[in-house]
Amino acid sequence: MNTSSDCIFCKIVSGQIPSRKVFEDDEILAFHDINPWAPVHFLMIPKTHIVSMAHVGPAHQALIGRMLGLAPRLALEAGAGPYPEGGFRIVTNTGKEGGQEVHHLHFHVMGGPRPWLRG
Ligand code: AMP
Ligand code: ZN
């Protein structure tokens, strides 16, 4: 697995920084965002250090597909309402102009009753 020693999400994967876990398997970790914008707001990350969506290529297709395929179930389990009245939003900030602050690929999954703080 690729890791970066100064990456906070790699430290969450290794347990050096604590997180409130939503889901974990051998390749994927999901944990609650520390600064939620919505009643439900968790992050899904690959355990391996991929910098951003701009660094994703054909070799990552299966992993990205698994992450997105898992998101609906985790959103419901975390408290998002069912479609169509409920639902959720998946956001991936990429690069400076894309608003990315943590440079380890992550999908924000947000849901729950509105209004939200942001988003
Ligand atoms: P982004 O701007 O897309 O890079 O978002 C980074 C997200 O990571 C923000 O929503 C932060 O609140 C969240 N975050 C930063 N540090 C932690 C942490 N230790 N545990 C959980 N979420 C975090
Ligand atoms: Zn990392």
Q: What is the pLDDT of residues 62-97, one digit of tens each?
A: 999 999 999 999 999 999 999 999 999 999 999 999
Question: In the prediction, which pLDDT does 119 show?
Answer: 84
* Residue carrying the six token digits 């290529």: 57
Domain range 8-111, CATH architecture: 2-Layer Sandwich (3.30)
Convert the pLDDT of each residue in 18-77 to its tens digit.
Answer: 999 999 999 999 999 999 999 999 999 999 999 999 999 999 999 999 999 999 999 999
Closest ligand 1 atom, CA of 19?
20
95 Cβ inside 6 Å of ligand 1: no
Q: Where are the domains of the chain?
A: 8-111
Query: Annotated catalytic, 103?
Result: no
Token representation of residue 25: 């398997």
Cβ(93) – ligand 1 distance below 6 Å: yes
Place of tokens 């920084």: 17
Task: Give the global pTM.
Answer: 0.98
Pairing state between β 28-32 and 107-111: unpaired
Residue 16: CB within 6 Å of ligand 1? Answer: no
Is residue 38 within 8 Å of residue 81, measured between CB atoms?
no
pLDDT band of 1, cuts 50, 70, 90: confident
Look at ligand 1, atom 12, and give the residue with the nearest C-alpha. Answer: 35
